Chain A
Amino acid sequence: MPPYGTDPAWGGRSRDVLAAAVVLILALSTLFLSVDNQRRIASGLQQSALRPFIGVQRRLGDARVRAAQVDSMLAVVDSLSAMLSTHAALVEENSTLRGLLDLSERTVPTYLPATLLRPGTPGAESMFIVDVGSDDGVTAGSPVVGPFGLVGVVREVRDREAVGIDWTHPDFRASAMVTDGSAFGLIENRPGRFREEDRLVLNGIPFNSKIDPEAVVVTSGLGGVFPRGIPVGRIDGLADSQGEWRKSYWLDPMVFPASATHVLVITGEASEAAPGAWPVGPADSTRASDGDAAGVEGGSRG
């Protein structure tokens, strides 16, 4: 009769359960890692195992733009040519006037063209990668803009690429004002029931300020992150009012982040965006929509 004892399979099983418990603890610990360590891990994986897939998206994006947007790009080039034909005279006139008034030259920011990539995985909805990095002068906090206005801001910079968040991210904030300067506030994202329902809100408007419907809201330059004058959206009705001292307004965004494929990253010290860089006309004439200018296609948000 064999002696009583532990089932031989039991030892292996308990070791296996122990190993699973250790891995589970490791997994749980990732939730509590510092943001720096989380970024370090994410950055390492993006530059190693995930690099080929990000590269595929970049190449496909470039090919798609080259193939499908030639007509719209030609239209943009034509518009720019027309604008530049009058620009030279204005620059000269401006320079002369500044000389007469003893004013120094205004510093304008540098715009770096970049391809915007989206991971498309759960949890990455508000994140993007641009193919310019610290080698090109991009720093954390560099604004990212599209042909129609503000897209987001760079959060993390590597040598040749940078990771950013768009305005649908819960942490996104931008100081903004109505174009005529009559009211200043803070722009933030208001989450909807679904991600597709996320909306922009202009918060902190004094109760007595009167804002016209469809007024264009631009960055105010306060806070030093976004240069003054980048269009963000149009007023789309009163969101709520707190007591009798503060109001907030819904904004109809100028750019739906999911539709942006080619963007400009603003670098350099400048308090004001290049004047006239964005067409701010009547509603619906300037918003990103199907078949519009290069880099912005479609109108849905993801």
Chain B
Amino acid sequence: MAEGRVVRVGVTVGLLAATHFLLHVGFSWGRGAPDLLTLAVLLAAREVRAGPAAAVGLAMGLLEDALSVLSFGANTVAMTIVGIAGALSRDLFVGDSRFFLGAYLFLGKVARDLVRWASVGDELRQSFVDQVLIDGAVSGLYVAAIGWLVAALTGVASAGRDP
């Protein structure tokens, strides 16, 4: 990957992470703010190999878990798996269309919620339908919409990728 593209991906991931914590922690928007950490991992995973994608997922998950006293590690595992799966998906699906990107981001977010749901303890695990199917689907659409915008603005995970 060209150096310029690496910088662009790095800056995008950094900005998304900073915005995520600014909205969720700084402004206390809670569920009103989109899950930009998962979006950062998913976008980065379309640009880098599985190892670095897993590392980005690990770092983002640890940051999110640092604010969790209930289920430390659940976000870390979920983000790492999503990062690896996102990177491996490049071998299976090649596409730069908006529909593909939207579907990828939507499924990525639902998958992240699914893995997190499976990783948290029994005490905290809520109903699968409520937490994964309903909450996950709504927040997946939210992430997909924001992802389209970010991809269009930054060019990350969209056409023009270097070989």
Contacts and interface: CB of A to CB of B under 8 A. Distances in A.
Given A16-B51, A31-B77, A193-B127, A123 B30 contact: no
Interface string B6-28: 00000000000000011011111
Contacts of A44: 66
B92 interface: no
A49 B84 CA distance: 24
Contact of B66 (A27, A41, A120, A122): A41
A9 B54 CA distance: 20
B69 A124 contact: yes
Interface in B73-96: 73-77, 79-81, 84, 87
Interface string B119-146: 1100110110010000000000000000
B47 interface: no
A27 B68 contact: no
A42 B67 contact: yes
A20 B72 contact: no
Given A23-B58, A24-B84, A27-B57, A121 B24 contact: yes
B61 interface: yes
B64 A23 contact: no
Interface string A169-180: 110000000000
B134 to A, nearest CB: 10
Given A38-B72, A193-B126, A120 B65 contact: no
A33 B62 CA distance: 13
Contacts of B77: 27-28, 30-31
A53 B65 contact: no
Contacts of B111: none
Interface residues of A, number: 48
B69 A126 contact: yes
Contact of B67 (A19, A60, A119, A195): A119
B70 interface: yes
Interface centre among B33, B73, B126 (most CB of A within 10 A): B73
Given A46-B67, A193-B126, A27 B72 contact: no
Given A20-B51, A23-B54, A120 B25 contact: yes
B6 to A, nearest CB: 16
A194 interface: yes
B159 to A, nearest CB: 24
Contacts of A161: none
A19 B58 CA distance: 12
Contacts of A50: 21, 25, 63, 66-67
Contacts of A272: none
A119 B24 contact: yes
A99 interface: no
Interface string A7-50: 00000000111111001101110111100001001101110011
A169 B70 contact: yes
A121 B51 CA distance: 26
Contacts of B28: 57, 60, 118, 120
The 6 closest A-B pairs by CB, nearest first: A19-B51, A123-B68, A56-B26, A119-B67, A45-B66, A31-B73
13 contacts: A20-B54, A23-B51, A23-B54, A27-B54, A27-B57, A42-B67, A45-B66, A50-B66, A120-B29, A123-B71, A124-B67, A163-B69, A193-B130
Interface of B: 21-22, 24-30, 33, 49-55, 57-58, 61-77, 79-81, 84, 87, 116, 119-120, 123-124, 126-127, 130
